[in-house]
A and B are shown apart, each in its own frame.
Chain A
Amino acid sequence: MSDIIVNGMSFSLPLFIIAVGGIYSERSGVTNLALEGFLGAGAFFGAVFTALTAGMFAATSQLPMYLSMVVAMAGGALYAVIHAVLCIKFKANQVISGVVVNILAMALTDFLTSQINAGVLGQSSDKFVLNVSTRLTFQPLASLPVIGGFFTNVYPFEFIIIAVAVVAWYAMYKTRFGMRLRACGDNPYAVDAAGCNVARIQFIAVMVSGALSGLGGMCFAYSVFGNFSTSIYTGYGYLAIAAMIFGNWKIPATLGACLLFGFARAAGYSLIQYLGLPGAYSDLIMILPYVLTLLLLMFFSKNNRAPRALGEIYDKGKR
């Protein structure tokens, strides 16, 4: 049981912060299928930073990890500019732009990883090896029955994610900017008539989306993968989109959806171990969150309400 909680939380939370990124973009009216690309690109920037500064820190220092997360957020935001420019400035189809941004991220980071490894670090590799993050256990809380799992082997980034998510929630629901952002997703013409700059709000929203996805991607790189390579593009971005839809584009409900996916996945792993099935079966269990997504979407999507102006190309001249 404890294992399920430990693994569930460490998977759910990065997924959640990526989904929050998706919510920022979509609540502002910009369809975002590019989360996958954002998280990969963000993690790439973070990993490059770690690889290039490896000599400057002690081998056991955790500082590079925290710094790389900041870099990943900045890098994700920077990479998201591509999507923002295509969708907002050039009014491109947002679905196509998202797909293109994903493909580009995978190809570009793969290429650059090999090039930087060969050219700068002088080694032949298609990945940046990262130390897996340390884990913290809080006694005596960890000894509590059942909920002790929440305090055992916790990655430090889980706290960072929770803090960032709270700020994101506050900014979206309590501040001027958030109010305008959500209004853009419903009726951008109303926002324009109120004298606000719709394009600017959406641009910022997409960049925030990139930053949060980058953070989530970096956390995955430091936990699930232990390195940065193209294997980071395993569809977690799409899973985050599903969580966002399942969470009805609301931050608390999306957290619930992410926890559900994370725990389903963790429970699957525990099941394999318990049954002593051969390793090949773990791949089968990996599809569990996706099967769950399909089923849930089938039953619950009709109650869902996407932002009204989602994916609509905002054209000021049109009335």
Chain B
Amino acid sequence: MSEYIVEMRHVTKRFPGIVANDDVSLGIKKGEIFALLGENGAGKSTLMSILFGMYEPDEGEVYVRGKKVEHFSPNHATAMNIGMVHQHFKLVSNYTVTENIILGMEPQKRLGGFLPVVDIKNTNQKIADLSKKFRLEVEPTKKIEDLNVSMQQRVEILKMLYREAEILIFDEPTAVLTPQEIEFLLDIIREMRRNGKTIILITHKLEEIKQVADRCAILNRGKVVGICDVAETSTKKMAELMVGREVSFTQEKSPFRPGEVKLTVDHLVVKNADGFPVVNDVSFSVRGGEIFAIAGVAGNGQVEIADAVAGLTKVSSGTITLGGKEITDAAVRARNRQGLAYIPEDRQSWGLILDFTLSENLLLRRYDQEPYCVKGVLHREKFDEKSRQLIEQFDIRSGQGEKTVVRSMSGGNQQKAIVAREIDQDAPCIIFVQPTRGLDIGAIENIHRQILEERAKGKAILLVSLELDEIMSLADTIGVIYNGQLLKIAPADTMSTNEVGQYMMGVKE
């Protein structure tokens, strides 16, 4: 009998075109919080899906409590007291919390002595008790569709606890939560360890691991590249292992050499559907070689400014000038031709056509131009040729190269594809809206490097971000937006993070 409650030996799992797990061996001790760290697409979720029985490994063995696992199915996993909270919750939306929790193992009572009936009423009480014990604060009689994401996640946790899970797997549990909810969840996780549960945490967020985990395995491209004691390992070291190269949290920035003005926004007003001015009299200009960053709390009008410049929102009054020409009412394509590239906030609905191939997506801005389209006929081989060049240049990883359907790619690589397409236009002005949202460190670093490279080439860059750290490390000039108005525009080196934060809350002045 080994010291491990879960042991994986030489586990390999392949999917068409990709090796998700490559000869993975690791052991997890009873009663610890074990983290699996890795970039998007490193194979963390696949590995844990194997433990939970959703996939069968192609090679290698899994041992639970010293016994070899013979049958891979969620049922067998549950019988071995393994539970998993998936990234996408598996809840029935029109059922109550209790009904969801008991689904599949409904307690029965006999009505009038013989008719079997699912016993909801008594179970409600049991679940309320369980919720109290682990401080989950879930009401058993609420319907799922009336609960927010954080509550739904706690229902998933309760589901595992109700099934007497001893080994609990969390797949990216904090991706959908607010900072306060994350704190709450981490407390719950600690509480469960105190109750003797073994917890496996899949994540790409280093801070969380630092906060709660005891040990951590780091995966890179399907391989375990290190297993370390969290307390004794620096965040930087973990990040390096995860990305597979040295990571610089602060980027090397070349000196600021502003050129001439490329983009001017003058007294811009944008109204929402109710006629309320969400952008109110905003003026600024961006010079070549400058990163102008708009900082602000979400929903203060920053996205609307970017959309107005890109031509996705109607301008109520004011003008937008690009390279000396007014484009206030120009069509999106005209602005594009005029020299404007745009990386939108929501990459899946505005940036990509998810069911098209990578090659088609990469050519969305050029498909109608020669040599990709000659006399109205598309030339696919030219598409692919160009795509392969971009894939190489921007290190876009995918299962089947340029033929990959974009939907199947990881978020980081989808974003890389958009950035590649937009930067490749060589437009003098580029708008980045939330360019690193939901990405892991490696991908963030990559995107930041691209932005700075474009700056060095003398491009005018408008950056909209909710991440203050991102703004502080990239911007040359910061404009702080509050309630649709730019409260302050100043060179980045004259403002501290704290000051910017205060303007963001509308406190200063």
Per-residue CB contact flags for chain A residues 155-193 toward chain B (1 = under 8 Å, else 0) read 000000000000000100011100110110011011111
CA distance A98 to B143 in the complex (A): 33
Q: In the complex, which residues 86-105 of chain B have their Cβ closer than 8 Å to any Cβ of chain A?
A: 86, 88, 90-95, 99-100, 103-105
Hey, which chain B residues are within 8 Å of A175, CB to CB? Answer: 116-118
Is A176 a contact partner of B108 (Cβ separation < 8 A)?
Answer: yes
Min CB–CB distance A36 → chain B (angstroms): 28
Taking a contact as CB atoms under 8 Å apart, the answer to whether B116 and A191 are in contact is no
Q: Which of B74, B92, B105 has the most CB of A within 10 A?
A: B92
A-contact 0/1 string along B98-131, CB 8 Å cutoff: 0110011110100100011110000000000000
Q: Which of A170, A176, A193 contacts B90 (CB 8 A)?
A: A193
Q: Does A63 contact B (CB under 8 A)?
A: no
Chain A residues near B92 (CB-CB < 8 A)? 182-183, 186-187, 190-191
B105 touches which one: A190, A192, A193, A194 (CB < 8 A)?
A: A194
The distance in angstroms between the C-alpha atoms of A164 and B90, with both chains bound, is 33
B78 on interface, CB distance cutoff 8 Å: yes
Give the distance in Å from the alpha carbon of A85 to the alpha carbon of B52 in the complex: 29
B254 to chain A, nearest CB (A): 43
Asked if B75 is an interface residue, CB under 8 A from chain A, the answer is: yes
| Cβ contact of B118, chosen from A179, A189, A193, A308, cutoff 8 A | A179
Q: How many residues of B contact A (CB 8 A)?
A: 23
Residues from chain A with Cβ under 8 Å of B103 in the complex = 179-180, 183, 190-191, 194, 196
Question: Is the CB of A319 closer than 8 A to any CB of chain B?
Answer: yes
* Residue of chain A at shortest CB distance from B84: A193
Q: Nearest Cβ distance between residue B90 and chain A, in whole angstroms? A: 4
Name the A residues within 8 Å of B78 (CB-CB). 195
Min C-beta distance of B191 to chain A, whole Å: 24
* Chain B residue nearest in CB terms to A170: B115
A170 proximity list for chain B (CB < 8 A): 115
Q: Which residues of chain A are within 8 angstroms of B115 by Cβ–Cβ distance?
A: 170, 174
Q: Which chain A residues lie closer than 8 Å to B99 at the CB level?
A: 179
Whether A190 contacts B94 in the complex (CB less than 8 A), given A174-B118, A176-B108, comes out as no
* A51: min CB distance to chain B, Å: 38
Instruction: Report yes or no: B86 in contact with A186, Cβ–Cβ below 8 A.
Output: no
B94 touches A189 (CB 8 A): no
Asked if B74 and A192 make an inter-chain contact with CB atoms under 8 angstroms apart, the answer reads yes
The answer to whether B104 touches A196, judged by C-beta atoms less than 8 angstroms apart, is yes
A43, B75: Cα distance in complex, Å: 41
Q: Which of A176, A182, A192 contacts B106 (CB 8 A)?
A: A176
In the complex, per-residue mask of B301-316: 1 if CB is within 8 Å of any chain A CB, else 0? 0000000000000000
CB distance from B52 to the nearest CB of A (A): 9
Which B residues are in CB contact (< 8 Å) with A196? Answer: 103-104
Q: Are A187 and B91 in contact (CB under 8 A)?
A: yes
Cβ proximity bits A226-251 to B, threshold 8 Å, 1 near / 0 not:
00000000000000000000000000
Q: Map CB proximity to B onto A33-48 as digits: 1 under 8 Å, 0 otherwise.
A: 0000000000000000
Interface residues of A in 111-126 (CB under 8 A from B): none
The listed residue (A186, A194, A319) touching B104 by CB distance below 8 A is A194
From B93, B103, B115, B118, name the one whose CB has the most chain A CB atoms within 10 angstroms.
B103
Report the nearest A residue to B116, measured CB to CB. Answer: A175
B75 touches A190 (CB 8 A): no
Inside 8 A of B104's CB, which chain A residues have their CB?
Answer: 180, 191, 194-196
For B116, list chain A residues within 8 Å (CB).
Answer: 175-176
B117 touches A174 (CB 8 A): yes
What CA separation (Å) do A177 and B105 show in the bound complex?
A: 11
B93 in complex: contacting residue of A187, A193, A319, CB < 8 Å:
A187
A189 to B88, CA, bound (A): 10
Interface centre among B104, B106, B111 (most CB of A within 10 A): B104
Is B75 touching A195 in the complex (CB atoms < 8 A)?
yes
How many angstroms from the CA of A161 to the CA of B382 in the assembled complex?
Answer: 67
Distance to closest chain B CB from A304 (angstroms): 13
- A319 vs B99: C-alpha distance when bound (angstroms): 22
| Cβ contacts under 8 Å, A179 to chain B | 99, 103, 106, 118
B94→A186 contact, CB < 8 A: yes
User: Which of chain B's residues have a CB closer than 8 A to the CB of A174?
Assistant: 111, 115, 117-118
Determine the residue in chain B with the shortest Cβ distance to A319. B88
B90 near A189 with CB under 8 A, answer yes
Contact A187 B75 (CB under 8 A): no
Assembly CA distance A183 to B92 (angstroms): 6
**Smallest Cβ distance from B174 to chain A, in angstroms?**
19
A61 CB, nearest partner CB in chain B, Å: 33
CB of A190 within 8 A of CB of B100, answer yes
Kindly provide the distance from the CB of A7 to the nearest chain B CB, expressed in whole angstroms.
Answer: 35
Chain A residues whose CB sits within 8 angstroms of the CB of B118 once the complex forms:
174-176, 179
Given contacts A180-B104, A194-B105, A195-B74, whether A187 and B90 have CB atoms under 8 Å apart is yes
| Cα distance, A196 to B78, chains bound together (Å) | 12
Q: B6-48, CB under 8 A of A: which get 1 and which 0?
A: 0000000000000000000000000000000000000000000
- Would you give the shortest CB distance from B13 to chain A, in whole angstroms? 13
* A29, chain B: closest CB distance, angstroms: 11
For the complex, give the distance between the alpha carbons of A182 and B139 in Å.
22
Interface positions of A from 267 to 319, Cβ below 8 Å from B: 308, 319
Give Cα A186 to B145, complex, Å: 11
Given contacts A176-B106, A195-B104, contact A190 B117 (CB under 8 A): no
Question: CA of A186 to CA of B92 in the docked complex: distance in angstroms?
Answer: 6
Q: How many angstroms between the C-alpha atoms of A3 and B284 in the bound complex?
A: 80
Q: Please report the C-alpha to C-alpha distance between residue A187 and residue B115 in the assembled complex, in whole angstroms.
A: 27
Task: Give Cα A180–Cα B111 distance, bound, in whole angstroms.
Answer: 19
Chain B, Cβ-Cβ closest to A183:
B92
List residues 94-119 of chain A with CB under 8 A from any CB of chain B.
none
Contacts A175-B117, A179-B118, A180-B103 given; does A193 touch B86 at CB 8 Å: yes
| Cα distance A6–B290 in the bound complex, in angstroms | 84
Contacts of A191 in B (CB 8 A): 92, 103-104
Determine the distance from Cα of A78 to Cα of B437 in the docked complex, in whole angstroms.
53
A:190-242 near B, CB below 8 Å: 190-196
Which of B74, B94, B95, B106 is in CB contact (< 8 Å) with A193?
B74
Per the 8 Å Cβ criterion, residues 424-474 of B in contact with A are: none
Residues of B within 8 A of A180 (CB): 103-104
Q: Which residue of A lies closest to B111 (CB)?
A: A174
A189 to B90, CA, bound (A): 6
> 10 closest A-B pairs (Cβ-Cβ)?
A194-B104, A190-B90, A193-B90, A195-B75, A194-B103, A183-B92, A186-B92, A176-B106, A195-B104, A174-B117
Interface residues of B (CB under 8 A from A): 74-75, 78, 86, 88, 90-95, 99-100, 103-106, 108, 111, 115-118
Please list 7 pairs of residues, one from A and one from B, whose beta carbons are closer than 8 Å in the complex, sorted by A's number.
A179-B106, A183-B95, A183-B103, A186-B93, A190-B90, A191-B103, A194-B90
Residues of chain A at the chain B interface (Cβ within 8 Å) = 170, 174-176, 179-180, 182-183, 186-187, 189-196, 308, 319
Taking A192-B74, A194-B103, A195-B105 as known contacts, 18 extra A-B pairs with beta carbons closer than 8 A to each other, sorted by chain A number, are A174-B111, A174-B118, A179-B103, A180-B103, A180-B104, A182-B95, A187-B90, A187-B92, A189-B90, A190-B100, A190-B103, A194-B90, A194-B104, A195-B74, A195-B78, A195-B104, A196-B103, A308-B94
